[in-house]
Structure 1
Amino acid sequence: MDKERAQRFMHKVIGDVATTLSGALVLVGDSTGLFRAMAGAGPLSADEVAQRSGVHPRYAQEWLGAMTCSGYVEHDPATDRFELPDEHAMYLTDPQSEAWLLGMFTGLPAMMAMAPRLADAFRSGGGVPFAEFGEALPVALEQMNRSVYESRLVRTWLPAVPAAVERLQAGGRAIDVGCGTGVVPLLLARAFPQASIEGLDLDARSIAIARSYAEREGLQDRVRFVNASAEALSGQPGYDLVTTFDVVHDLPDPLGVLQRIRGALAEGGTYLMVEPKVDDLLEKNRENPFGRMLFAISCLHCVPQSLAQGGPGLGACWGPTRARELAAEAGFSHFAVLPVRSPAMAFYELRA
């Protein structure tokens, strides 16, 4: 028995428990406005934080202690004052900023609550349907991605497929398969007013939310949202651009969907597949700061909801080699990894 190794592992386990519990307090800090109250304010006493945020002083004091120990907030023992550094606030306070990371916490309660149900699935080999993760999950998933999509989709990502951009500018057709609450189709509609834009998703709640967003933005006549599976894809007329964002690995029939997407493309059309950015080798993903998070999300959500549909449970960490192989099996003649800079997402260009 290596006692030092055992001691290190014990510290890791305690650290993991602390991280999990701190995640709940990060959510509280967001919902109560504590982070926003501290942003740009410099060093504050616990009472001043309470006053600025409107929370009870005793809770403010204990929360500040927890956030100090977790490294979110800094504490000066000489003055007993707390500060949220600008370098931290940029990730915690502005939902419109692409740097905002608090959206990643919003799905945690629903996923954690499924642990007992997931344990049963582990034993039976079954899955957990998407709907069972709760009514709040569609918006939670949206909040994990919206700010980055709004900042990057049109300005940075689409220029990597210039032929598709030219077609949309000329009034072409595009569809986002697995569109969720409609963020991508609505962004496309705003950027390409002459184009015909659609969003397709099997989840009725997500489509209802997407339609409400379209009405709110005055785009209900510009974007068509369809509550259906990928079997509803039609190649008549074909699409100049088909997109999937973080979708393929969740599907019950990834090969069949890619075959339908290929058949739905117009001649010369582009399929933009975006998937989690991971390495094919597990040991390389241990070095990736996103690897731990992606594997956890995959095990908690991606694999069980695919298995629940009778799918293969590819999982979020299926990697570029299997993506290339699946594309070839589906009949695509062109597969390229696009030079889009992203720490968490891989961008693949496919053509028939």
Structure 2
Amino acid sequence: MSIDEARLNEFLGRAVGDLGAAISASLVLVGDQLGYYRALAREALSPAELAARTGTHERYAREWLGNQAAGGYVQYDAASGHYSLSAEQALCLADPGGPVDLAGAYSIVEAAFHALERTKDNFRSGAGMEWGEHHPCLFHGTERFFRAGYNAHLLGEWLPALDGVLDKLRQGGKVADVGCGHGASTTLMAKAFPNTSFIGYDYHPASIETARRRAQEAGIDNAYFEVADATSYSGRNFDLIAFFDCLHDMGDPVGAARHARDALKPDGHCLLVEPFAGDRVEDNLNPVGRVYYGASSQICVPVSLARHGPALGAQAGQARLQQVMSEGGFSRFRRATQTPFNLVLEARP
């Protein structure tokens, strides 16, 4: 077999970049959890100053800074020997309450390595892995990463894209957030629409406990949380039922759609927020698709297979999701809006 040296070098260059990113993933967690990014967002610092600000050791801080500067995650000024974050880097790495929380996503990567032995077994056997069987860092990372997207888009773009929903929520409606996890989306909506009652459902008891605590800490009294799966919750007559980044994980997505259809008012709305994907494999062979296929193979697909589900996966695409909702009894379906990371879909009875 002949080797094209130019193609070989191109691939090796890409692979070395990936290797550098992979070995640096744990260092992003270090920077986030030790407060390095937040300190650098405030001011330019030398390694010794960063260590002093954060109560850490200078030698480790120096090596961490070299890694981060080489990867383009921090700025280095050779003349002063100081490191800092640009405004753009700070937005993504130093503000967990902002519109982008890149560091939070690395806890999801951490969870994938915790589950590595189980993942290998699943690949061999075709078995699955329940959401609650993962390391708790998955739940923490998922909340942080997706909460940032909700902060950026949910109130200002996604809900307004649904026909007539805002008026119902302002006047006083009833909303279910199915698969709510730690309740980030639920509490965000509840705070914005105090006249409406919100209830979050999730089959993972520990997540519901966290959601209740988050709502209590935020002083929100119109959001409630119950342990229930997507096909058995008891609430009815909802104006809006939302599935945020969860329908593709479910063991019975058609059953979840059917249950939502039955629980909605006749003029109600079902909101699906799903990972952005095209309907063909070739549409998704890009950096965003790579992230989602990676998470899907290690987290999303196993969760569905654990319950003998169809394993839609995080790259299901609009056509497959529309089929699910149609089989669940919805007659109208459209793409309401989108972001580079999300499909925002509306289903109506």
TM-score bracket, shorter-length normalisation:
over 0.9
User: Which residue of the partner structure matches residue 177 of structure 1?
Assistant: 178
Other-structure match for 1:112: 113
Shift of 1:79: 4.4
Counterpart Cα distance in 2 of 1:65 and 1:154 = 39
Q: Cα offset for 1:40?
A: 4.3
Residue 121 of structure 1 and its aligned partner are, at CA, apart by 0.6
Matches of 2:184 and 2:61, distance apart in 1? 35
How many pairs does the alignment contain?
347
Q: Distance in 1 between matches of 2:217 and 2:40?
A: 32
Aligned to 1:283: 282
Q: Which runs of 5+ in 2 are unaligned?
A: none
Q: Deviations over 1:63-83 (max 9, x none)?
A: 111112212123344544333
Aligned 1:134-213 pairs, distance under 5 A: 134-213=135-214
Aligned equivalent of 1:37 = 39
- How far apart, CA to CA, are the structure 1 residues paired with 2:223 and 2:80? 56
SS in 2 for 1:106: helix
Counterpart-to-counterpart distance in 2, 1:259 and 1:65: 53
The separation in 2 between residues aligned to 1:78 and 1:224, in whole angstroms, is 55
Q: How does 1:1-352 map to 2 (within 5 A)?
A: 1-4=2-5, 5-42=7-44, 44-219=45-220, 221-234=221-234, 237-287=236-286, 289-340=287-338, 342-352=339-349
Q: Structure 1 pair 224/78, CA: closer, same or farther in 2 (3 Å)? A: closer
Give SS of 2:334's match: strand
Aligned-pair distance for 1:231? 2.5
CA deviations 1:238-290 (Å, max 9, x no partner) are: 11100000011000011111111111110110001110111112222223x31
Deviation at 1:305, TM superposition (A): 1.3
Cα separation, 2, equivalents of 1:230 and 1:38: 43
TM-score, length of structure 2 as denominator length = 0.94
Contact 2:202 2:228 in 1 (8 A): yes
Q: Which AA in structure 2 matches 1:23?
A: A
**Residues 264, 10 of structure 1: alpha-carbon distance in 2 compared, 3 angstrom cutoff:** same
Runs (4 or more) in structure 1 with deviation over 4 Å come to: none
**Among the aligned pairs, what percent are the same residue?**
39
Q: Secondary structure at the match of 1:249?
A: helix
Matched AA of 2:265: A
Q: CA deviation at 1:311?
A: 0.9
Identify unmatched segments of 5+ residues in structure 1.
none
Q: Aligned pair in 2 of structure 1 residues 214, 49: CA closer, same or farther (>3 Å)?
A: closer
Q: Aligned-pair distance for 1:97? A: 1.2
What is the TM-score when the length of structure 1 is the normalising length? 0.93
2:186–2:199 Cα contact (<8 Å) kept = yes
Shift of 1:307: 0.6
- Work out whether residues 174 and 198 of structure 1, in 8 Å CA contact, stay in contact via their aligned partners in 2: yes
